[in-house]
Chains A and B, each alone.
Chain A
Amino acid sequence: DAGVTQSPTHLIKTRGQQVTLRCSPKSGHDTVSWYQQALGQGPQFIFQYYEEEERQRGNFPDRFSGHQFPNYSSELNVNALLLGDSALYLCASSLAVGVTTNEKLFFGSGTQLSVL
């Protein structure tokens, strides 16, 4: 049973570029959340996708956008990259119970993004 998988594992970009990160949730999960973890910090919530729609959003600018596909996989897009976007980007999946999400999140190993 595959857990949460993310690609790529590492990425180097320059300021102003755009990047797309990908996530496949754990088998049977339908909800995907994205987190940004800067060095020495805890993960910060970016947004959550359920039923192919952004369900909830953290305090991140519109440069951060996402998408969820019918197979529940998800993408995170970041436009006009800044140096401060350098971080580990974590994807977490869970299973919605009715209209609420289950408590337990399963995390992927993340994509380490470096912006030069």
Chain B
Amino acid sequence: EDKVVQSPLSLVVHEGDTVTLNCSYEVTNFRSLLWYKQEKKAPTFLFMLTSSGIEKKSGRLSSILDKKELFSILNITATQTGDSAVYLCACRSYSGAGSYQLTFGKGTKLSVIP
């Protein structure tokens, strides 16, 4: 059974801090790893990673994938209160006949206090 494990499950930091969120996985027929931000209800797409060692950046957020050690990290620098959310890691795997499946972790709840 495919498994995606995120850590920590929750985190409280002060504005301006830098945080690192972790995601490890055991997935058959792995194709890519995706990060989503879930503020209220709808998860919004952050990054998709398919190759090891290539950092993806978007403003203060960055992420990298290690396909040998089967993990990814999401870094957020100079955190702001607007970064408070649940961050979801998901692995996309091929399940045959042109179909793919996303397996999500439980998420990391980040709270940024002023």
User: B43-51, B63-71, B75-83: which one contacts chain A?
Assistant: B43-51
Contacts of B34 in A (CB 8 A): 103
Q: Is the CB of B88 within 8 A of A109?
A: no
**Which interface class (under 10, 10 to 19, 20 to 34, 35 or more) fits B?**
20 to 34
Q: Is the CB of B100 within 8 A of A110?
A: no
Please tell me if A101 contacts chain B, counting CB pairs below 8 Å.
yes
> A56–B98 Cα gap in the complex (Å)?
10
Q: Which of A33, A42, A48 has the most CB of B within 10 A?
A: A42
Q: Mark B19-56, 1 if CB is under 8 A from A, else 0.
A: 00000000000011010100011111100100000000
Q: Is the CB of B43 within 8 A of A43?
A: yes
**Residue of chain A at shortest CB distance from B31:** A103
22 contacts between A and B (CB under 8 A): A41-B106, A42-B88, A42-B104, A42-B106, A43-B102, A45-B101, A48-B99, A55-B97, A56-B95, A88-B41, A90-B42, A90-B43, A101-B99, A103-B92, A103-B100, A104-B45, A105-B45, A105-B102, A106-B45, A108-B42, A109-B41, A110-B42
Q: Is the CB of B102 within 8 A of A110?
A: no
Min CB–CB distance A58 → chain B (angstroms): 7
Please tell me if A44 contacts chain B, counting CB pairs below 8 Å.
yes
> A101–B106 Cα gap in the complex (Å)?
24
Q: Among residues 25 to 65 in chain A, which have CB atoms less than 8 Å away from a CB atom of chain B? A: 33, 35, 40-45, 48, 55-56, 58
